[in-house]
Amino acid sequence: MSEQVSTAVEPKVVKKSNFKVVGTYCQTMMDEREVKIPRLMEHFHTSKLHKVKNRINNPNSIGMFVDPPNWNEDTEAFYWIAAVEVDSFEKIPQDMITKTIPAQKYAVLEFDPSVHDFNPYPYLFQWIKSKGYELVEGFGFEEYHPYTGVETKFTLYLPIK
């Protein structure tokens, strides 16, 4: 890699089984994401989360993104989903969505905004390429342990092959 960045944990590759999530979402452009996504995450955690009755892996939650195929970040919107993992889709509040995430291989990076002074996304993209992997279409996500606000530590997962 051309740029040396000090990280507490090196990226790694993991295989995750399929899992189910329930949450709420917003559509945003890259230039609006720093306002819209924190607003959605805060609203979900303060006003919606308590309605999910079949949650598992408490206190973890997820910020999941869906980029359209061949997505152009300058001109196209993307979806962000604030969610938690559930064991079933029974008794889901009407104002929430459900997604089943298929089993997938991921490049993974632990990130702490209070310690690391780099953007984890381009860093992990570069690591993926340097190790001979490719990004694939699918859901990427940040997993929080738990979510406490915009400065929350998280684990970034990007789908690869």
Per-residue three-class SS string for the chain: CCCCCCCCCCCEEEEECCEEEEEEEEEECHHHHHHHHHHHHHHHHHHHHHHCCCECCCCCEEEEEECCCCCCCCCCCEEEEEEEEECCCCCCCCCCEEEEECCEEEEEEEECCCCCCCCHHHHHHHHHHHCCCCECCCCEEEEECCCCCCCCCEEEEEEEC
Cα diameter, the chain: 50
Instruction: Note the Cα 160 to chain centre separation in Å.
Output: 14
The answer to whether 26 and 79 are in contact (CB under 8 A) is yes
Q: Where are the domains of the chain?
A: 12-160
Strand partners, 159: 106
Strand 78-86: give its sheet, edge to edge: 12-16, 104-111, 154-160, 140-144, 61-66, 78-86, 19-28, 97-101
Position with higher pLDDT, 117 vs 36: 36
Mean pLDDT of 45-66: 95
The domain 12-160 is placed in CATH, from the list 3.30.110.30, 3.20.80.10, 3.30.70.260, 3.20.20.140, at: 3.20.80.10
Mean pLDDT of 70-91: 93
Q: Does 1 have pLDDT greater than 50? A: no
Q: Does 4 have pLDDT greater than 60? A: no
Percent of the chain with pLDDT over 90: 80
Kindly report the pTM of this predicted structure: 0.91
Q: Does 5 have pLDDT greater than 60? A: no
* Residue range 23-37, pLDDT digits in tens: 999 999 999 999 999
Tokens read off for 148: 């406490």
Mean pLDDT of 39-57: 96
CA dihedral 89→156→117→58, nearest 10 degrees, is 40
The answer to whether 65 and 138 are in contact (CB under 8 A) is no
